[in-house]
Amino acid sequence: MLRRVLARATPWLLLIAPLLLLFLFLLLPYLLTFYYSTTAATIGRLSNVGFVGLANFEAVLASRNPPFPGVVIVTATFTAGTLAGSLVLGTVLALALYTVPAGRRSALLAVYLVPWVIAGVVIGYTWKLMYDPEIGLANTLLGSVGIGPITWLSDKATSIAALVTANVWAGYGIVLLVISAALANVPPNLILAGQVDGASVTRVIRRIILPAIRPAFLLAALVALVGGLNTFDLIYAMTKGGPLYQTETMALEMYRLTALKGSIGQGAAVTVILFSLSLVLAVVYVVLWRRENRKWT
Q: Which residues contact 84 (CB under 8 A, 6 or more apart)?
A: none
What's the chain's length in residues?
Answer: 297
Q: Which of 54, 80, 125, 193 binds other proteins (CB under 8 A)?
A: 125
Q: How far is the CB of 283 from other proteins (least distance, A)?
A: 6
Candidate residues 75, 82, 126, 239; the one interacting with other proteins per rule CB under 8 A: 126
Tell me whether residue 21 or residue 54 sits nearer to other proteins (CB atom): 21
CB of 223 to other proteins, least distance (A): 5
Could you give the string, one character per residue 34-53, with x where binding to other proteins holds by CB under 8 A and - elsewhere? --x----x-x--xx------
Q: Which residue in 134, 148, 196, 197 binds other proteins (CB under 8 A)?
A: 134
Among the listed residues 230, 246, 261, 262, the single contact to other proteins using CB under 8 A:
230
Distance CA 93, CA 285 (A): 23
Site string for other proteins, 145-174 (x = CB under 8 A): ------------------------x---xx
Among 127, 152, 217, 245, binds other proteins (CB under 8 A): 127
Choice from 231, 241, 245, 248 touching other proteins (CB under 8 A): 231
The DSSP string of the chain is: -HHHHHHHHHHHHHHHHHHHHHIIIIIHHHHHHHHHTTB--BTTB-SSPPB-TTHHHHHHHH-BTTBHHHHHHHHHHHHHHHHHHHHHHHHHHHHHHHTS-HHHHHHHHHHHTGGGGS-HHHHHHHHHHHT-TTT-HHHHHHHHTTPPP--TTT-HHHHHHHHHHHHHHHHHHHHHHHHHHHHHTS-HHHHHHHHHTT--HHHHIIIIIHHHTHHHHHHHHHHHHHHHHT--HHHHHHTTT-STTTT--HHHHHHIIIIIS--HHHHHHHHHHHHHHHHHHHHHHHHHHHHHHHHH-
CB of 83 to other proteins, least distance (A): 14
246 near other proteins, judged by CB under 8 A: no
* Position among 2, 4, 5, 11 found at the interface with other proteins (CB under 8 A): 11
Residue 255-284 contact track with other proteins, rule CB under 8 A, x = bound? x--xx----x--xx-xx--xx--xx-xxx-
Q: Which of 135, 145, 157, 196 binds other proteins (CB under 8 A)?
A: 135
Q: Is the Cβ–Cβ distance between 277 and 76 less than 8 Å?
A: no
**Sole binder of other proteins in the list 50, 116, 156, 244 (CB under 8 A):** 116
118 in contact with other proteins (CB under 8 A): yes
Interface of this chain with other proteins, residues 188 to 217, rule: CB under 8 A = 188, 191-192, 195, 201, 204
Q: Which of 115, 117, 95 is nearest to 179 (CA)?
A: 95
Identify residues 75-114 at the interface with other proteins (CB under 8 A): 89, 92-93, 96-100, 106, 108-114
